[in-house]
Structures are given as C-alpha cells and as structure tokens.
Structure 1
Amino acid sequence: MNFLKRMSKKGDKITFYYDYGRQKGQRPSTGIWIYTKPKDPAEKKHNQEAISLLKVKDSQLTIERQAIGSAYIPNHKFKGNFLDYYAEYVKNHTREGNRHLSNSLVQFKSFLKKNFISPVDITEELCKRFRRYLLDKYHGETPSDYFTRFKWVLAAATSDKYYLSSPAEKVSAKSNPSTRLKEIIEVEDYLALLATPILNWEVQEAFILCCYTGLRWCDVVTLSWDQIKGDTLVTRIIQQKTGQPITLTLHPIAKAILVKRRNQLQGLSDAEKFTRKVFQLPGANGANKILSQWMKAAGIMKHITWSCARLSFSILLKDKLVDDPTIAYLLGHTTTAQVQKVYKRHRPKDQSESISLLPEPELLPYFLQL
C-alpha cells in the first residue's frame, strides 16, 4: 500500500497517512511520523523505528486484503486485552439515555479489580462468578440488566472469532427480587406532602415532577431546559423501533413546576437557559435522606426513595385503567413486560373495599343472629 506523506508547517516532521481514496475520511493518519532532518542519534533511532513500524502496518494491510472473502481473520485484528474490546463495543453501541451497557463495563472492571484480562481468561466459571458478584451487590432487575449486556459483548466477540462459542452461553442472566417491596405514593400522600414544608425546595419540586412524569433519578438530575418544548418534555430515552426520543405531555402540575422554575431564570440569555440544568440537586443519597425527613414530617410512615416516584406514576395510571402499552411507552419500555412484572401493585390499596365486592350470602341474616 502507498502511504501519503505530509510535512508539518515548520517543516521539521513528516507524518504518514493511509490512502484509501479521495473521499472525505479516506485518508486517516497512521499516527506515525519521522524527523525531516534528524539532529542526533535519538532522532535517527526514532526514524528507524518509525519506518519499521510503517512496514509492519503495510504488511498487516496486505494480509487483510488477501483475507477478504475467506474465514481467516489476521491475528493483529484481535485485542489482547478483552477490556479494550469491551470498551470499544460500549462506545459503538451505547444509546443516549441508556446506561446499562456502559455500567456493565464499570461493574466488570470492579469485579476483576484489574485493568487487563486476556480473552482466553474469560471462561464459563468466570462468567458465573461475575453473575454472583452482581447478585450479591444489587437487587431487582439490575443484576440481570448488567449481565445481559455482558453477554451481548461476549456474543459479539464470538462472532468476531474470539471464541468458538460464547463462554456465557450457558450462564443465564438472573434478577434479584428485593425482600422489601417498594412503597407507593397514594393520592392522599401527595396532598399531605404538598401541605408539608421542606427545607430543600429543589428536592421537593424535582420529586413531584418525577411523580407526574415517571422520570428516573438519572433523568431528572440531568434534565436541561432544551428538553422542555412547550407543553411537552423530550426525554433522553430513545425508542428502539423509531430511533426517536420519547416525548411526554406535561400534566398541569408538572408544567406549573417548570414554569415557576423558568421564571426564576429572569436575566439569563436563552443560550444560558438552554444549557442550564432545571434542578440543582444533591447526590442521590443526600436526596433520599431529605425525602425521608419530608415523609416523616408529613406523617407518611412509608420507606420512600426516589424510585418510588416512577413506580407510583405507573400504578396511579393503572388505577385509572390506562392500558399497559401506553404506560410502557411513557416509562420508556419497548414492551409491557416490565409494567406487568415490576410497575404494578403488589398489595391491594384497601382490602376491605376489595372484599366488600364479594356477593353477600343468603345466610348473612342467620349469622347476624348468632
């Protein structure tokens, strides 16, 4: 292959570029350069090594061209550190608003406690230990979500000939049901909360907004004004089928919160408003502590965390007979599985009201006389 040469503006260095054609992007840099006029032994040695490396790259490209149409994949196409392959997969496949894939890499690195692992060291036994690590660390669907993404990466690596079969092929992803069911914010709880003062108005308004939109903590903490379009909120969750972001129609309460906060931005330019976050919130743990204090002050004896807002959003819509596909869309899910499995009532709101719907037996007068 012929490499292109470009001299620096000062004329002291020459950089080599690939030549794949004359279209945009077809002449990327090799990253290799030499001194135009080496002045000392160190610069001469640099030039010798750079030219040697250039010859290696030329040989690799020749082998790649010869391998086209065959099942052979040159060894230099493989990454010696599987974490590099994982990181590249994450970079190429992560969708905005979905952190499960990138977080799965974070968790895998945390599990390994090192920055290098050869592909050959990724065995079925290691996959099982990683799954156990996730189950011990997280509750709910999180372990399953992270391990599923890990399996995606291994499946891709198998397609790229790193493995004959995926090491995780027989290791299924598992969820870890919490021993504590999440509490629900009922209508009467909303009224009690709104009537109770809170020391941190940022937390109050952000939490109530989540209750009326179904936004997650990670959504509201990054919410910016450019996502608010009139009466709608454009989420960072991308629909898998259309490739477009999910748009939520704002409830009057949610809209009122945003109007109030926008009015507080008087004096800022439109550009400053659009780049500014809607809420200035503390960390997740700090926000949950404030919520706990607020609930106690309102007389609500429930264990409420930020995720309860999203659950309550779903359940109160179900109480009003909104269909599961609509709720799934509003929550950003592609199917109704999560709504039917997670975002539902696990206990009746009022047992006596439900039981009273049973037919009264004809013998009821008889029992009343006993």
Structure 2
Amino acid sequence: MNFLKRKNKKGNKIIFYYDYGRKKGQRPTTGIFIYTKPKNQTEKNHNKQSLSLIELKKSQLTIEKQAVGTAFIPQHKFKANFLDYYTDYVKQHQRKGNRHLQNSLTQFKAFMGKDFVAPIEISENLCKRFRRYLLDKYTGETPSDYYSRFKWVLAAATVDGYYLQNPTEKVSAKSNPSTKLKEFLEVEEYLDLIKTPCLNAEVQEAFIFCCYTGLRWVDVFTLSWEQLNRSVLTTRIIQAKTGLPVTLTLHPIAKLILEKRKRLLDNRDNKKALVFRLPSADGANKILLQWIKATAINKHITWSCARLSFSILLQDKLVDDATVAYLLGHATTEQVRKTYKRHRPKDQTTTISNLPSPELLPYFLNI
C-alpha cells in the first residue's frame, strides 16, 4: 500500500492520500496533513504526531494484506460489538428506496434487547430464534426480506474473519403467507360505491382516487398539488413507502376528482397545499367502513383494498404483469404475481358454465 502526498493550494500544508490506483475515487484523502514550514512548537508537534500516524496506518494496511485468507482479524479492524459491525454494513450498502437492510438491523436490535452483542453470541441456534421472531411478528414476504439481509451481514462477517463457518448457512429465509385473504372490489362494486353517498366527501373521493390510480394510503394522504401536473394524462410522484417514483396514468374519473378538489380549494395558488385533507388512517378506515355498510357490498374493505382492486381489475382485462407493476410503482413483477392478484373467482357459477352444456345430460342418463 502506497501513500501520496500533495501540497494544498496555499502551499502551507502537505496532505496525505491513500493510493489504491489511478482510477476515479482510488486516491481518497487520509485526513492527515503536516505543515510545510512549521512556525512554532505546536505545529512541529503536530507534524511529528501526524507522521507517526501515517506510519501506523502503513503498518495496519500491511497487516490487513497479510491477514487475507486467514482467520485472523487485525485488532484495529475487529469490532467487539457485532451491532457496530452490522451498523457499518448498513451504512456502506444501503440503497435509496430500499428499507429492508435498515429494518433488518432495527428488528435484530429489538430481538436482542441490548446494546452490546459479542460476535461469539451469533450462533446457528440464535439465527433460528431470530428467524422465528420475524415469522411471529410479520406476515407475507417481510420476514424473508429482513432475514435475507441479516444473512448478507453474516456472510460478510464470515468473509472478514469473524466466523470460520457462517452461522446462517443452514438457516434459510422463510416467508409467512397470510392465512387471511384480503378482500377487493369487483367492477359492479366500484359503481355501487361511487353512487353511494359518504359522510366525508374527501374520504370518499380520496378512496375512489386510489381505486383508479393504485396509490397507497400514505401516498394519497400526503399528495400535494405540487406533485401533480394536470396538463398531461400522466404524472410522477415519489412513493412515501419506497422512496421510488411512480407514474400515475390518470383515468377520466381520477381527473374529474382532481378538478373538483381544485375548485373547492380555498388556497388555489398554494402549490404545496394537500389535494385531500384527510383524518388519520384509523379515522379514514372507520369512515370507509360506515360507507361500505351503506352499500350492497358484503365485504371487509380497508384502504389497502383499493390498490389490490386496481391491480386485479386491470389483470381481468388481460393487462400484462409488467404494465401493472409499472403502474403500481414496482421495479419488478414479483409483487404483482405474489400479492396483487386475484385469489378467488368472481363468479363460480359463470366459470363452471364454461364446461359442456346441460343439454348433454339426457345422453348421460340414457347410458
């Protein structure tokens, strides 16, 4: 490992840099400098200590290079608290819009219930218990997503020499499919809902807007006029849950709702004003429940059912998974295939009638 040194623009300091190569970003600063012409004893002492620190770093890097391929971890690299290692890993590998890695750390801390976890405590048995903790706490793909990120961290720690064998190697990630199927709205129920009055017009319009755009509660709750461009049929907003953009293709009903909301706004010139002034999520769902009871819809409908209904009704019209995923703001079709799909037939009688007709029954009886 080499170190470079260069003078600053004023020429009064020499700054030291790591030298990993000649490509962009391969010569980061060490943060260490010396004075070119020390003016007093303080600056002379600074230079002496800085040069000693550079020699120490050279020694540390040499030891790191020699330790590659062995189980030895240089003391300056070893973190006695595994939570510190986990935290550093999250900082280095976190991607914008992907919350699973950070959440896996949060859940592991909650599982352990303490601020210090020695690496030796992470055993195969502890990994199994952490997996069970996630499965007991969450449904769907969430337990698998969080535990998979935990496995990433343990794999990296094994490579870094913390373990001779990865403690999670034989403990695979598992999902936890929900035993309760979420309800959704059929076409006729969409129409019934639109025609039925609601005690809170903004809750009514916001829910219908979600049915026609696939937005989540968290997105419609924070939706502002600044995010919308009503001069075109589509608009892009940033999803609150993922941090990723989603393109809304506005159905005529969705556009009519926006036009009505715009007319009713007192502060029409305030672009940061919210499109819908809604109560809390709990309050909105209670109003939604009362509204559903006033219809002929005999289902348990919550706000999240709007997004599911949006996806299912598009798929009923043979819209491909990739397009539905795009409209929902997903980067892949995985969630559409696993979650946002029809899980029960609309009309079993109509479906069964596609089999050979009843007029064939006499032939059967005469056999």
Please report the TM-score for the alignment, with normalisation by the length of structure 2. Answer: 0.74
Deviations for 1:99-135, whole angstroms, at most 9, x for unmatched residues? 3333222222222222332233222211211111111
Corresponding residue of 1:285: 282
Listed as ranges, the matches of 1:10-49 within 5 Å are: 19-20=16-17
The one of 310, 317, 338 equivalent to 1:313 is 310
- Supply the distance in 2 between the matched residues of 1:54 and 1:168 (Cα, whole angstroms): 42
Query: Helix, strand or coil for the counterpart of 2:238?
Result: strand
Listed as ranges, the matches of 1:1-370 within 5 Å are: 19-20=16-17, 58=54, 60-67=56-63, 69-72=65-68, 74-229=74-229, 230-236=232-238, 245-265=245-265, 267=267, 273-274=271-272, 276-360=273-357, 363-365=360-362
Deviations for 1:157-195, whole angstroms, at most 9, x for unmatched residues? 334443344322221221222221111111122222222
Query: Helix, strand or coil for the counterpart of 2:247?
Result: strand
Deviations for 1:71-120, whole angstroms, at most 9, x for unmatched residues? 44633233333333333333444444443333222222222222332233
Cα drift, residue 53 of structure 1: 9.8
Maintained 8 Å contact 1:79/1:85 = yes
Distance 1:160 1:347, change over 3 A: same
Corresponding residue of 1:33: none
Aligned length: 335
Corresponding residue of 2:36: none
Corresponding residue of 1:35: none
Aligned-partner residue type, residue 58 of structure 2: T
Deviations for 1:138-162, whole angstroms, at most 9, x for unmatched residues? 2222222222222233333334443
- Supply the distance in 1 between the matched residues of 2:120 and 2:14 (Cα, whole angstroms): 34
Q: Higher mean Cα deviation, 125-134 or 112-121?
A: 112-121
Instruction: Note the residue ranges of structure 1 that are not aligned, 5 or more in a row.
Output: 5-15, 31-47
Maintained 8 Å contact 2:262/2:268 = no
- Supply the distance in 2 between the matched residues of 1:18 and 1:268 (Cα, whole angstroms): 56
Deviations for 1:273-299, whole angstroms, at most 9, x for unmatched residues? 24x554444444333333222212223
Maintained 8 Å contact 1:96/1:236 = no
Distance 1:357 1:159, change over 3 A: same
- Supply the distance in 1 between the matched residues of 2:96 and 2:277 (Cα, whole angstroms): 22
Cα drift, residue 218 of structure 1: 3.7
Distance 1:66 1:232, change over 3 A: same
Distance 1:302 1:256, change over 3 A: same
Cα drift, residue 69 of structure 1: 4.7
Query: Helix, strand or coil for the counterpart of 2:17?
Result: coil
Distance 1:159 1:181, change over 3 A: same
Matched residues, percent identical? 62
Distance 1:95 1:65, change over 3 A: closer
- Supply the distance in 1 between the matched residues of 2:52 and 2:303 (Cα, whole angstroms): 55
Cα drift, residue 365 of structure 1: 4.3
Distance 1:319 1:337, change over 3 A: same
- Supply the distance in 2 between the matched residues of 1:197 and 1:253 (Cα, whole angstroms): 16
- Supply the distance in 2 between the matched residues of 1:147 and 1:53 (Cα, whole angstroms): 45
Corresponding residue of 2:41: none
Distance 1:318 1:126, change over 3 A: same
Aligned-partner residue type, residue 114 of structure 1: K
Aligned-partner residue type, residue 62 of structure 1: K
Distance 1:51 1:314, change over 3 A: same
- Supply the distance in 2 between the matched residues of 1:165 and 1:178 (Cα, whole angstroms): 34
Maintained 8 Å contact 1:151/1:168 = yes
Maintained 8 Å contact 1:184/1:308 = yes
Distance 1:263 1:345, change over 3 A: same
- Supply the distance in 1 between the matched residues of 2:158 and 2:274 (Cα, whole angstroms): 42
Cα drift, residue 322 of structure 1: 0.7
- Supply the distance in 1 between the matched residues of 2:123 and 2:88 (Cα, whole angstroms): 20
Distance 1:353 1:129, change over 3 A: same
Deviations for 1:15-41, whole angstroms, at most 9, x for unmatched residues? x997438x99966768xxxxxxxxxxx
Query: Helix, strand or coil for the counterpart of 1:167?
Result: coil
Alignment RMSD: 4.1
Please report the TM-score for the alignment, with normalisation by the length of structure 1. Answer: 0.74
Aligned-partner residue type, residue 341 of structure 1: K
